[in-house]
Structure 1
Amino acid sequence: MAKPVVPEAARRRRRSTKQGVVLSERLIVETALRLLGHHGDTGLTVRRLGAALGADPSTLYRYFRGTDDLILAIADELIGQAIQGWRATGAWQADLRDLGLRLHSAYLAHPQAAVLAASRITGRPNEAATIEAFLGVLRTAGFPPAEAVRMYRALVDLSLAFAALDSATLALPPAAHRADREMWRDTYGRLTADTHPHIAAVAGPLVACLEGSAYPLTLDLFLVSAAARLPTLGARDTTTSSDRIADR
């Protein structure tokens, strides 16, 4: 049976590590993010993390059950960075766009970590707060409960899918990144109208389209679709009695 993780308040070290710091869950997560940024996913080992913290690696098991538990904490930290300081304005499309862009940007700020964490469910406070924020915007906009959940799932999956894709690109070694772009430019920028008339007709924009992420445009298209969908849901009031009471 796995050794239970000691609560944060009870596991705090009374003595400093070799580097003069007191261990905490947050410090371990921040150090793990730094290691991932420097070494990629292969750099996140208990031994290397212990060395970076100046602590015996076994001490880390007082905070996390293992590296997978640590990855969940890292994912929740990225989500927390995304939602920090966010406030709803009441303009539901703008609020959803802001939440989506924040989520995408937070993961892209730590691309090596994002590749590991974007697909995970943390069950931790920041994730719960973010779900509450998305659902709050959607329900306030007038989406019935079941539809609000579907829209939430679609929007978050869209945001995290692009976060994982864009992060994987950013995490590539510089040489591989350059090679991919050169391959795109040299292949699709030189096809002729004789063989590929549509590609040749848009060669300039097509070559340039790799600059930046397609996520903002895709997010805007999603929100336009959501706005068009909302009026069609008005006649289908699927709220329960308890929902109506809670909304008053």
Structure 2
Amino acid sequence: MATPERIPVERRRRRPTRSGSLLSAEAITEAALTLIEAPGGNALTVRRLGAALGCDPSAVYRYFPDTDAVLLAVADRLIQDSLEGFAPGGGWREELRDFAQRLHRSMLTHPRLAAVRASRVTTGPAEARAVDLGIGILLRAGFPPDRAVRNYRLFVDTVLAQAAVDAAVLDLDEERREQQGAAWTTHHAGLPAEEYPNLYAVRDHLALMAGALLPEILEMVIDRFAGELEARG
């Protein structure tokens, strides 16, 4: 079978399906996102994509080499959505906060894809734009190129890791989410002092273990960056 690179762009972008709609990389990406987010829709297969699009499953291979490539394209599409309306222009601290909150919101909106977005490199245009914007914020803040890159990695991996944890909890069914949130006060707070003296000492405060962490984590990272800039003069 011919690879996508050998097929003219116009053929790859405009191939009618059995339903009469036009098949494209964008249509496949949208169908994949719908399948993933449907109840019980964690398994993404070419066969399911073909059924959803009303085309022969093999037609998907004209646009993507495999389902992993489709998954990365979906992740890149979600990065693009999260950046919609982002406009650098304020102070670097405010820009980093806005950038982080957009990523976090997007991952909680699509929790089943959070792990992919936190761990994979999509190589897509939206990811490239996000990295370009993030590093640009740090360059304008005054970091030299090597520290801008390193600090962007520190910043974005911290945000993505916390978002992935929050998204995983959000993707639990309602009963398990409630159990997760109440475990600190219903179980850990009741453990005996003889075996768990430190937990017992702070038992009245263990509800804090279930609270949102991103705002505090973000301020810690930003304060660290500010301290580094101050040390550099």
Q: TM-score, normalised by structure 1?
A: 0.83
Q: Unaligned 5+ residue runs, structure 2? A: none
Which deviations, in whole Å up to 9, do the C-alpha atoms of 1:141-199 show, x marking residues without a partner?
Answer: 10111111110010111111122222222223444334433433321232355654543
How has the CA–CA distance of structure 1 residues 114 and 2 changed in structure 2, closer, same or farther, with 3 Å as cutoff? farther
Per mean C-alpha deviation after superposition, the further-off stretch among 20-29 and 75-84 is 20-29
1:178-193 residue pairs with structure 2 within 5 A? 178-191=178-191
Q: In 2, distance between residues paired with 1:159 and 1:224?
A: 15
- Counterpart of 2:126? 126
1:1-248 residue pairs with structure 2 within 5 A? 3-5=3-5, 6=7, 8-18=9-19, 20-39=20-39, 42-191=42-191, 196-211=196-211, 213-234=212-233
Per mean C-alpha deviation after superposition, the further-off stretch among 181-190 and 79-88 is 181-190
Tell me which of the two structures has the higher relative contact order, counting C-alpha pairs closer than 8 angstroms and 6 or more residues apart.
Answer: 1
Q: Which amino acid aligns with 1:155?
A: F
Which deviations, in whole Å up to 9, do the C-alpha atoms of 1:110-167 show, x marking residues without a partner?
Answer: 1112223321111111111111111111011101111111100101111111222222
Aligned residues: 232
Paired-residue identity, %: 42
Which deviations, in whole Å up to 9, do the C-alpha atoms of 1:77-122 show, x marking residues without a partner?
Answer: 1211121110012300110111111112112211112223321111
How has the CA–CA distance of structure 1 residues 22 and 2 changed in structure 2, closer, same or farther, with 3 Å as cutoff? closer
Which deviations, in whole Å up to 9, do the C-alpha atoms of 1:9-63 show, x marking residues without a partner?
Answer: 3313353442x43222222212211211124564211111111122211111111
Per mean C-alpha deviation after superposition, the further-off stretch among 31-40 and 221-230 is 31-40
Report the 3-state secondary structure (helix = DSSP H, G, I; strand = E; otherwise coil) of the residue aligned with 2:23.
coil
- Counterpart of 1:239? none
How has the CA–CA distance of structure 1 residues 156 and 57 changed in structure 2, closer, same or farther, with 3 Å as cutoff? same
Q: TM-score, normalised by structure 2?
A: 0.88
Q: In 1, distance between residues paired with 2:185 and 2:9?
A: 52
Q: Which amino acid aligns with 1:187?
A: H
Note if contact 2:111-2:167 (Cα within 8 Å) is conserved in structure 1.
Answer: yes
How has the CA–CA distance of structure 1 residues 30 and 14 changed in structure 2, closer, same or farther, with 3 Å as cutoff? closer
